[in-house]
Chain A
Amino acid sequence: MESISTRIFLALWTILVIAFLFGPILLIAVYAFNVSNVQSWPIAGLTLKWFPKTWANQEVRTALWLSIRAGLLATTIAVVLGTFAAFAVNRARWRGREALSFAVVLPIALPGIITGMALNSFFVFWHIPLSYWTIVIGHATFCIVIVYNNVLARLRRVPGSLAEASMDLGAGAWMTFQRVTFPAISTALIAGALLAFALSFDEVIVTTFTAGAQNTLPLWIFGAIRLGQELPEVNVIVLAVLVVTAVPVFLAYRVTQDR
């Protein structure tokens, strides 16, 4: 049992760490309601006027729509390919298993700037114009890892005897997948998809190299901050992005806690 002073010290330290992590986020959230468009402390007063103004901004809308479309498609690709890869790696040992595992996980270990530059050179080399599709491909590279890791972790926890029992009872491979294996991994799949979407939605670095002239929401924010323009709108959007990414992460956490 630690002494009272130790506990107080630990409590204070914890508060400091949390303040360090979440203080800046809280500040932006507060600025989103700031009457003045000059960001200074204390804020001049509270208002909601920036919300409709941001919503009316055509550039913001286009960027938001692009982000959502790219996120959804990248997540879909990730769910399909990541699940296949996880099943392949989870099966009995075969040649190239470790190599596949390494190749799939690599994009998340590599700095985004390398993935981004590599994809960019690849597209340029093959004369593929940067577009919505190149953004999706860029995002899929790291979204696959998320789904793959989640599903593989679950598959490793599901006893092999479940699939054996299903086949023993007369079910073929398809019924076994449909009725036993898929339900066993479904929450991991959902969690993986939610996390992948959240990652895609706020990705900047890889997107910078693959987006061309278009702006995803994070790219628009980055541009606006660099130019020092439309800062109140930026605050509103950051708040929105925060919610859009935090909710899936929270849901993913809840979904996987049950099991």
Chain B
Amino acid sequence: MLKAVTPEVERTADAAKDETLVSIRGLRKAFKGTVAVHDLDLDIRRGEFFTMLGPSGSGKTTTLRLIAGFERPDSGTISLDGQDMARRAPFERDVNTVFQDYALFPHMSVAENIAYGLKARRLPRAEVEARVVEALRMVQLEALGARRPDQLSGGQRQRVGLARAIVNRPRLLLLDEPLGALDLKLRQDMQMELKQIQERLGITFLYVTHDQEEALSMSDRVAVFNDGRIEQIAPPAEIYERPATDFVAGFVGTSTILTRGGRRLVLRPEKLQLSYAPGVFDGPEWHAERGVIRESVYAGIFTRHIIALDTGETVVAVQQNHRPYAPDARRGALVWVGWRKDEVFALTG
């Protein structure tokens, strides 16, 4: 899939991983009185695939635009390798962006688009050409250098947008929902490819998305944004398994929050087990409750059950269909919902 990476680029990948590359302190931005980003603090490590996840209007894109230099912060600092660049113009920052709408220059060929940043930096012609060829190869568009953007498919345009940014070998690459306009299959392929390219080049990726699955499957760490603030920064598994707040529990994955014995439990659908007879979830490690199946939705890989517990609360459980579809798992069936106490996470606060 990925070919030819120059040794020079590979060396940067070996740089110390825990070193902080980007350091954001007290970053704040308001638009006409509406605060988009509230006094944000954030550290991004060198070589990391860092994702800002959140619903639209949560401030993640504004944060990205502040780092790119398209917006000026009201206050705060954005340091790249220890240098504050919060008030520098976009062309004075060693940062490149992959745009959601690709933003390819329509009157230039693919190769000219990719060469643009190198020409802006007045690199010698031979080097420009060599690096364009290399970038085209990296995104598997070797044959399409002479095409115009309007002669490409959406997926190909996205690759050109990526090549145009990474050809400059920035210290930090910003990706603003780059896969948002692609269909599901292509999006999944591109997710893998982006991740591979990132690991190959060792460039730090700062990725913005509202798609939690994308965030979980690609990132080293995820920051969950809500209402201009960060709710939690953690590796994907921790975000999912140990959400810090109600918002994170609800936004990342599906969950039901039940209060049992004074603790607020985050019940993930796949962690709940079902039985159509009592007495299965005995033993001290189990907790079981009785309910009635309200709705059962067959979805191929799994079946999703919506269950009304005897307490009146509703929980969602999924069952892998690794056995033929259970005929007794139907609407109105009496069911016991069980979970292992050590597998369920309790929210603090």
A→B interface (CB under 8 Å):
159, 161-162, 164-172, 175, 179-180, 183-184
Per the bound structure, the CA–CA distance linking A179 and B119 in Å amounts to: 11
B117 in contact with A161 (CB, 8 Å) = no
Would you list 15 pairs from A and B whose C-beta atoms are within 8 A, ordered by A residue? A159-B101, A161-B100, A161-B101, A164-B90, A164-B99, A165-B104, A165-B164, A166-B105, A168-B90, A168-B165, A169-B168, A170-B91, A170-B121, A175-B120, A179-B105
B90 in contact with A161 (CB, 8 Å) = no
A183 in contact with B107 (CB, 8 Å) = yes
A184 in contact with B107 (CB, 8 Å) = yes
B167: nearest residue on chain A (CB-CB)?
A169
Distance of A90 from chain B, by nearest CB (Å): 17
Interface centre among B68, B103, B117 (most CB of A within 10 A): B103
A165 in contact with B91 (CB, 8 Å) = no
Contacting residues, chain A, for B69 (C-beta < 8 A):
167-168
**Secondary structure at chain A's binding surface: helix, strand, loop or mixed?**
helix
CB-CB contacts of B135-175 with A at 8 A, as 1s and 0s?
00000000000000000000000000000110010000000
A169-B107 contact given A161-B99, A161-B101, A164-B90, CB 8 Å threshold: no
Asked if B345 is an interface residue, CB under 8 A from chain A, the answer is no
B122: nearest residue on chain A (CB-CB)?
A170
A170 in contact with B117 (CB, 8 Å) = yes
B→A interface (CB under 8 Å):
68-70, 89-91, 95-97, 99-101, 103-107, 116-117, 120-121, 164-165, 168
B121 in contact with A161 (CB, 8 Å) = no
Per the bound structure, the CA–CA distance linking A18 and B101 in Å amounts to: 44
A161: nearest residue on chain B (CB-CB)?
B103
B120 in contact with A170 (CB, 8 Å) = yes
B168 in contact with A170 (CB, 8 Å) = yes
Contacting residues, chain B, for A161 (C-beta < 8 A):
99-101, 103
A158: nearest residue on chain B (CB-CB)?
B106
Contacting residues, chain A, for B70 (C-beta < 8 A):
164, 168
B91 in contact with A180 (CB, 8 Å) = no
B164: nearest residue on chain A (CB-CB)?
A169
B90 in contact with A167 (CB, 8 Å) = yes
What would 10 more interface pairs be, CB under 8 Å, given A164-B99, A165-B104? A162-B103, A164-B68, A166-B120, A167-B69, A167-B90, A167-B91, A168-B70, A170-B120, A171-B116, A172-B89
Per the bound structure, the CA–CA distance linking A192 and B90 in Å amounts to: 32
Contacting residues, chain B, for A175 (C-beta < 8 A):
120
Distance of B66 from chain A, by nearest CB (Å): 13
Contacting residues, chain B, for A162 (C-beta < 8 A):
103, 105
Distance of A188 from chain B, by nearest CB (Å): 13
Distance of B23 from chain A, by nearest CB (Å): 21
Contacting residues, chain A, for B89 (C-beta < 8 A):
167, 172
A169 in contact with B116 (CB, 8 Å) = yes
Per the bound structure, the CA–CA distance linking A221 and B104 in Å amounts to: 51
Per the bound structure, the CA–CA distance linking A164 and B121 in Å amounts to: 16
Partner of A166, one of B106, B107, B116, B168: B116
Partner of B106, one of A167, A179, A184: A184
Per the bound structure, the CA–CA distance linking A166 and B97 in Å amounts to: 10
Partner of A168, one of B68, B104, B121: B68
Per the bound structure, the CA–CA distance linking A180 and B96 in Å amounts to: 17
Contacting residues, chain A, for B106 (C-beta < 8 A):
184
A171 in contact with B120 (CB, 8 Å) = yes
Per the bound structure, the CA–CA distance linking A179 and B117 in Å amounts to: 12
Contacting residues, chain A, for B101 (C-beta < 8 A):
159, 161
A164 in contact with B91 (CB, 8 Å) = no
A159-B120 contact given A168-B97, A169-B96, CB 8 Å threshold: no
Contacting residues, chain A, for B168 (C-beta < 8 A):
169-170
Contacting residues, chain A, for B68 (C-beta < 8 A):
164, 168
Distance of B339 from chain A, by nearest CB (Å): 47
Interface centre among A162, A165, A180 (most CB of B within 10 A): A165
A93: nearest residue on chain B (CB-CB)?
B32
Per the bound structure, the CA–CA distance linking A159 and B97 in Å amounts to: 15
B103 in contact with A172 (CB, 8 Å) = no
B116 in contact with A159 (CB, 8 Å) = no
Distance of A177 from chain B, by nearest CB (Å): 13
A168-B107 contact given A159-B101, A175-B120, CB 8 Å threshold: no
Per the bound structure, the CA–CA distance linking A184 and B149 in Å amounts to: 14
Distance of A224 from chain B, by nearest CB (Å): 47
A165 in contact with B120 (CB, 8 Å) = no
Distance of B30 from chain A, by nearest CB (Å): 15
Interface centre among B68, B91, B95, B164 (most CB of A within 10 A): B91
